[in-house]
Amino acid sequence: MGITLRNVVLTYPDGDARMRALDDVDFTAERGRLTAVTGPSGSGKSSLLAVAGLLTAPDSGLVVLDGTDVTESTRAQRTTLRRERLGFVFQQSNLLPSLTATEQLLAITHLRGERVRVHRDRARTLLTDLGLGGHLDKRPHQLSGGQRQRVAIARGLMNDPAVLLVDEPTSALDEDRSRRVVALLADLAHDRNVAVVMVTHDLGQLDLVDDCHEMHSGRLTSGFPTRL
């Protein structure tokens, strides 16, 4: 259970031709594990997340979410799957400047017209679980970079996703805070049975992850880099 890509090819226009951002990629991230994807800039890591996150349909290959082949799903079905089954945390935490930490988590659920009080309780519990119990009503400018990233992670967990996709969560953080964010992602994967997929440049934290893959020019190799 988790997310699987099989023989996935994704191309982008490149002048008169097309370039392969994902070149026959096989990838699995299991629930209950933190899976890292490393590799140089431009190698296709964000493209992999976009396909795994059902944001981009591949040219060919299969995408399987918790055992269900979702490759042929319509755009509307993918939107529903994303909302109900997937969580996203991006490089910049993308918090709205005017909202408190709690409101950041509710901003998405408001759109769904569901009961606010239940969601407010869940938002507060999640933030507290992530060590932000003293910051529920703070706005982004009142939080540190690490705290903002934890708010974004809490927001990604609001819908209790099967898969949490995290793109370069530590790129704006110092060594110490980076390590704490990666340790937190590992704990969340283990404790909540989520498949956490983390794209990272940060090889120094790979001892905290369960599985590792390396991307080069659109091709994925599995296993930890030997230089660790």
Is 41 a binding residue for ligand ADP by CB under 6 A? The answer is yes
**172, 151, 174: which is closest to 95 by C-alpha?**
151
CA gap 79, 85 in Å, rounded: 10
Cα(214)–Cα(221) distance, rounded to whole angstroms? Answer: 5
Restricting to residues 26-45, which ones interact with Mg ion according to CB under 5 A? Answer: 45
Interface with ligand ADP (CB under 6 A), residue from 4, 38, 47, 200: 47
> Minimum Å distance from CB 107 to Mg ion?
24
Instruction: Note whether 46 binds Mg ion by CB under 5 A.
Output: yes
- CA 123, 124, 129, 135 dihedral sign is positive
User: How far is Cα 158 from Cα 15, in angstroms, rounded to an integer?
Assistant: 41
Distance (Å, rounded) from C-alpha 180 to C-alpha 176? 7
- With 0-12 CB in 10 A as exposed, 13-18 as middle and 19+ as buried, what is 128? middle
> Which C-beta is closer to ligand ADP: that of 109 or that of 170?
170
When the beta carbons of 43 and 102 are compared against ligand ADP, the nearer one is 43
**Is there binding between residue 43 and ligand ADP (CB under 6 A)?**
yes
- Least distance between ligand ADP and beta carbon 52 (Å): 12
Residues 6+ apart with CB under 8 A from 134: none
Candidates 3, 5, 8, 21: give the one binding ligand ADP (CB under 6 A): 21
Q: Would you give the binding string for ligand ADP spanning residues 85-114, x where CB under 6 A is met?
A: ------------------------------
Minimum separation from the CB atom of position 176 to Mg ion (A): 24
Minimum gap (Å) between residue 22 Cβ and ligand ADP: 8
- Interface with ligand ADP by CB under 6 A: which residues? 12, 21, 39, 41-47
